[in-house]
Amino acid sequence: MIPGIDVSHWQGDIDWAKVKAAGVKFAFIKASEFPDKKTTMFVDNKFEINRKGAEANGIYWGAYHFFRTHIDSIIQAESFCKLVGSVPSLPLVLDLEVAGSKGSKLVRKVRSFVETITSITGRKPIIYTSGGFWRPYMTYEKLTDVDWAVEYPLWMARYTSQWPGTIYPWSAWDFWQYTDKGRVPGIKASVDLNWFVGSLDDLQTRFLPKISQSKSTEMLDGEGIAVPSQPFMEEKAFQQPSGAAIAQNIPAPQFRAERIGRQEESEDTKVETQNKQSPSFLSFLHDRFNKKEKRNVDPLQSQEWIEDVVYRDRK
């Protein structure tokens, strides 16, 4: 699990060197939106500063566009791409959390946006959303309306200390925003905290352009599994724990992982040997999380769930 943040002008001036020292590996940065009832694109006044700050400190970054439905999807996508320009880091992001329409009409607009981004950049954008938005708005008419979305990475918002489920049609999430009240050195205001489900190598391989991958020299020492039992509240919370630290300070997780990237074995074997609890707990983690399972989506089962839970008030 790799820690990251997402920021906008609401976080004010950011000391990216301190953010880097705190252990942040990636950041999603707000770039633009078309405010409600406005036809002129709003550009976040901290976007360029934040992007340069992240780049200068070796933090992988991605730009996101807050999607609205009153402006043509293709115009939004083209304006977004023109603003951001070349993207040598993480893919662009569709921030989907408000809507002026729902059902098939909204689905067509969202699909048009992501397909335009893909056509322009040659890379599939990440979709940011929550189950609370996606289910009642995107699958309002038919569950199968969103089958195409499985081809795009999912960045899911769900504020909970438990391991979250996922959203149809995805069998797993890639990024998880788990709180909007995080505290990180270098940022005075509260900030959204995220996890990437995998190792740093997985992040580089799956989400960086090949050129960036070949130039990347940053490696995470002694990569292990960091369980998000508590939000990051201080600098040490971002430091990658050794095997002993994991065994001593983090309770056994009470959740089931949908999918997680392969983790490398910790090099801190001496500390693990000294601590009698380490082998059993680390074995539990490896047995629990190191197996990749490809789950097939069952549309019928999901449809029954949608009808029972989401549309209950409509019956």
- Active site positions, annotated: 6, 97
CA separation for the pair 93, 183 (Å, rounded): 23
> How does DSSP classify residue 253?
P
Residue 136 CA from chain centroid, whole number: 21
Burial of 315 (0-12, 13-18, 19+ CB in 10 A): exposed
DSSP H/E element including 7: strand 2-7
C-alpha gyration radius of the chain: 20
Give the number of other Cβ atoms within 10 Å of residue 250's Cβ. Answer: 17
Please tell me the distance from the alpha carbon of residue 111 to that of residue 34, in angstroms, as a whole number. 18
Would you say 244 and 272 are in contact if contact means Cβ atoms under 8 Å apart? Answer: yes
Closest Cα partner for 129 from 171, 94, 87, 102? 94
Nearest residue to 198 via CA among 216, 169, 220:
220
- Cβ-based neighbours of 68, under 8 Å, separated by 6 or more: 33, 34, 35, 36, 76, 98, 100
Phi, psi at residue 100, to the nearest 5°? -105, 5
Residue the block writes with tokens 């430091």:
239
